[in-house]
A and B are shown apart, each in its own frame.
Chain A
Amino acid sequence: DAGVIQSPRHEVTEMGQEVTLRCKPISGHDYLFWYRQTMMRGLELLIYFNNNVPIDDSGMPEDRFSAKMPNASFSTLKIQPSEPRDSAVYFCASGTHYEQYFGPGTRLTVT
């Protein structure tokens, strides 16, 4: 398996634009997690899915953030409209009930 795949790897956008981050989990994993990492706040869980169903989105900072998982092999995290404070590295991780594996991350810069 190729591991967790995220795209794009880097994204630079202007404030107010819509940003969509994509994730392909490892086949057979039934959990999918979206995290955000910054120097100031460390690694924060935004939302996670179990069997494609959102279980806990309490970490999603605002209504500007939304996440979907239409099937077991694909998930998106959307920010609309984006703001400079959204600049961070966004990680997707997939796993089982016991452990998780991280993708390489998407580095988002909002100017």
Chain B
Amino acid sequence: KQEVTQIPAALSVPEGENLVLNCSFTDSAIYNLQWFRQDPGKGLTSLLLIQSSQREQTSGRLNASLDKSSGRSTLYIAASQPGDSATYLCAARGGNQFYFGTGTSLTVIP
């Protein structure tokens, strides 16, 4: 069964810093990997989707990469802002299911 791990579980950075969130998965036979953001008490918002044939996707200050051979994906956030504070989850699509990591709680300190 696919297992998805996100380390660290929590991260605090000062405003303006660039940061990287990590996502590891055990089975490289994935269709795609999706990054989500979850604000407290809210649902999940899709940020970026990387197909298995792609290496990276970019949206504004966010850049997600995928290395299937090593079972890793990273989410890079440039010039972090307090509004980026949230929990970030990754989900690997395998078969017909999405396998979620437990998330990284990010706090950007003004």
Interface positions of A (Cβ within 8 A of B): 31, 33, 42-43, 45, 48, 50, 55-56, 91, 93, 97-105, 107
Contact = CB atoms under 8 A, between A and B. Distances in A.
B96 interface: yes
Contacts of A101: 46
Majority secondary structure of chain A interface residues (helix, strand, loop or mixed): strand
Interface residues of B, number: 21
Interface of B: 31-32, 34, 36, 41-46, 49, 51, 89, 91, 93, 96-98, 100, 102-103
Contacts, number: 48
B97 A99 contact: no
Contacts of A56: 96-97
Contacts of A99: 32, 34, 46, 49, 93
Residue among A56, A98, A99, A103 facing the most chain B CB atoms (10 A cut-off): A99
